[in-house]
Chain A
Amino acid sequence: MGRHAVKDSLYLAWRYLTHQPAKTTLLVLALTTFLGLPMVMRAMSSVIQRSLLARAEATPLLLGKKGSSLDLVIESLYFQPKGVEALTAADVTEVDATGLAQAIPLRTGLMSRTFPLVGTTLDYFSFRDLSLSSGRMLATLGECVLGAEAAQELDLGPGDAVTTSPSTMFDLAGVYPLRMRVVGVLAQAHGPDDRAVFVDLKTAWIAEGLGHGHQDLATAAGDVLLKSKNDVTTANAKLVQYNEISEANLDSFHFHGDAERYPVSAVIAVPANEKSGVLLRGRFLDDSTRQLLRPAQVVEGLNDQIFRFERVLRIIVSTVGAATGLMFLLVMLLSWRLRADELRTMERLGCSRFKAMQIMGAEVFLMVGTSVVAAALFGLLMTQYGEGWLQNLILRGS
């Protein structure tokens, strides 16, 4: 008997709520926000903190120029451009020469379409345990390997081409885009590597204009050459510059100046063992221009900041939530007042007060229930799929 009574109340409540779709939707949305925000905040915060820390903990040591350690970690680990000052290739050699750690150089800060272009060596892929889902690894200049999400969003695969997006795109005297051949796509790694375009370090230098390829001066027309003295030949702008590295023009690509002075954004140092790591850190302890840091330590600091921010946010959300709750109550009370005729009819027909309250309660229950389910689903979706998006949001804003 009781089960039927509850079923009838739920039925009447459901029919009333679906008869007022706009009002019901608005109330459910308000409640979902009220209930979902703290839930999503908590879930996301822990996921973000966990995922940030996981990548940082997987990176034992990071060498970079002195400056903001947080910016260095964010640019080197999460590929968010922060404009960190560059080391040189000589620093990579120096770390390697110590014999204490393997040095993996990183050149970041460039973009290919909307994805970060990362210049590195093949060691990076084995260090991060990145495998290919299709194609092959980098072999020669001008080739690139795409992260899984980058490949999916750009709809590119092995055999396609992608260009760099120099920041000086509209500067005629600046660096021109370099067309790169896609030779491989990485398997999903659930991290920043999924949204990166990887190239060889030298290709990265060519992309930023430090190396170039052009028409052979010996075969160039006479009016192209301006002067030739002591093995130095000067040509004018008519000389054909290559914006794509192919088998035919590969040999024409070259670098001027001392390669050891070419820029490297950071060096990941992978010590052979704990002792080597301590020794290596000791060597850079008093360095006035460079810092060798433990990324995990830096990210823990960032997490502390996130936690503090979250506490303030929780107070704000609770206040807004209380206001939303009161507003919901007010709307329901006004709604019941507007339905005075219906309540009077129920009373005259002989409906008990308990039953009338049960029907009203069923309306609240259905709306709150729907909101709880919607908030939980939203929280789950954000936890499952919103991690990358929120990670980007936090890192870009930091």
Chain B
Amino acid sequence: MIELRNVLFRYAEGAFSLEVPALRVETAARAAAIGPSGSGKTTLLNLVSGIERPARGEVHTGGTRVDALSPAERRAFRITRIGFVFQEFLLLDYLDVRQNILYPYRLHPELRLDQEARDRAERLAEGLGVRRLLDRRPDELSQGERQRVAIARALVTSPELILADEPTGNLDPVTKNEVLDLLFEQCDALGMTLLMVTHDHALLDRFTQVIDVSKWGGTP
């Protein structure tokens, strides 16, 4: 569950602010954050994940008050409890697909890269249709395949929340729907909450909750 109460966020330059009086996303919900560019969609994800800290208010993610954590605790919280999917995939060229999926395990000592994790990576790759690509490098994959790998990386640690920042933004319409189907399917199967930023209004009827961020943020 995500809950924001009376949150105010301002960048240091002061040109942008986001003010969220109240927001609640239930566990296992599929929520879409919409709004024009610069309205604060990504900032909302950053607040929920603890990348940014609000000037005021409370941010509760999965029962943890994220804004009260220290920077190091927020990092640890992110990597252990949240999965990220980015528009630009952000896969590492020097690792093959298998190692890209398992990448979060290499970054935090609490995440133990054991056989169970490896099996989970294989199962996710199977479910997302990239199992045959496990030994390939990202630069050998299509855009759609890369995003599937990025989704597998987000899911592999079994986080309770998936934050996706326009994950279908770089994909063609057919691939877009395929990737979204897979993302929903996996989140449903694993009981994860999904908060996804999108510009694509045609997709909105597939979400259980739509959050219009434009009413809260922008440049004065």
Contact = CB atoms under 8 A, between A and B. Distances in A.
Pairing of A with B: yes
A350 B107 contact: yes
Given A15-B95, A342-B92, A350 B78 contact: yes
A227 interface: no
The interface size bin for chain B is 20 to 34
A350 B109 contact: no
Given A19-B93, A345-B90, A349-B84, A5 B109 contact: yes
B78 A349 contact: yes
A49 B216 CA distance: 82
Nearest to A8: B106
Interface string A1-41: 11011001101100110111000000000000000000000
A352 B94 contact: no
Nearest to B99: A15
Contacts, number: 64
Contacts of A9: 106
B152 to A, nearest CB: 14
A9 B109 CA distance: 11
A395 to B, nearest CB: 50
A352 B78 CA distance: 10
A34 to B, nearest CB: 26
Interface string B52-73: 0000000000000000000010
Given A4-B112, A5-B109, A12-B106, A349 B93 contact: no
Contacts of B104: 349
B20 interface: no
Contacts of A229: none
Contacts of B105: 8
Interface string A342-359: 100111111110010000
Contact of B94 (A8, A16, A346, A348): A16
A352 B82 CA distance: 15
Interface in A344-398: 345-352, 355
B109 A2 contact: yes
Contact of B90 (A2, A16, A341): A341
A181 B155 CA distance: 82
Contact of A351 (B82, B94, B108): B108
Interface in B105-154: 105-110, 112-113
A349 B113 contact: no
Interface of A: 1-2, 4-5, 8-9, 11-12, 15-16, 18-20, 341-342, 345-352, 355
Given A1-B109, A12-B95, 17 more contacts: A8-B107, A9-B106, A11-B106, A15-B94, A15-B95, A341-B90, A345-B86, A345-B90, A345-B92, A346-B107, A348-B86, A349-B79, A349-B84, A350-B74, A350-B77, A350-B107, A351-B79
